[in-house]
Structure 1
Amino acid sequence: MGFSLHFMVIDRDQIIDADRAGLIAFLDASRLRIDRRWSQLSNVDTDEPLSFDGSPSDFSLDPLDQADPVTGYLSHATCSPAECAFIFDLCRAGRMMIVNAQGSPMYIGITGIHNLEAFPDPEDTAFVGSGDELFEVLSLGYAGFQEYRARVLRSYEDRT
Structure 2
Amino acid sequence: MGFSLYLYKIDGDRLVDPDRDGVQEFLQRRRMHMKVFPPSSADRSSCATLLNEDGTDINVDGLQDFHFSHVLEEDEAMTAGTGHAHLTAGECDFIFDLCISAGFMIVNPQGGPSFIVPRGNHTAENLRAITQDMSEEAQRQDIVAINSGEELQALLTSGFQSFLDWRERAFTQLGLNSSGPESSPSV
TM-score (norm 1): 0.89
Residue type matched to 2:160 in 1?
Y
The Cα of 1:63 is off from its aligned counterpart by 5.5
The answer for the alignment partner of 2:126 in structure 1 is 118
Match of 2:95 in 1: 87
Find the aligned partners of 2:13 and 2:166 in 1 and give their Cα distance. 30
CA contact (8 A) 1:103 1:141 kept: no
1:10 aligns with 2:10: yes
Q: Distance in 1 between matches of 2:87 and 2:13?
A: 27
**Partners of 1:126 and 1:135 in 2: how far apart?**
13
**In the alignment, is residue 137 of structure 1 matched against residue 155 of structure 2?**
yes
Alignment correspondent of 2:65: 58
Percent identical: 34
**Which structure: larger Rg?**
2
Letter paired with 2:50: L
Q: Which residue of 2 aligns with 1:107?
A: 115
Number of aligned residue pairs: give it: 156
Q: Deviations over 1:90-112 (max 9, x none)?
A: 01000000000112110001124
- Secondary structure of the corresponding residue to residue 18 of structure 2: coil
Q: Which runs of 5+ in 2 are unaligned?
A: 38-46, 177-187
**Hey, what does 2:40 align to over in structure 1?**
none
Runs of 4+ that moved beyond 4 A:
none
Structure 1 runs not aligned, ≥5 long? none
TM score, norm. by length of structure 2: 0.77
Which one of 41, 45, 57 corresponds to residue 50 of structure 2? 41
Contact 2:4 2:83 in 1 (8 A): yes
> Once superposed, what is the RMSD of the aligned Cα atoms?
1.8
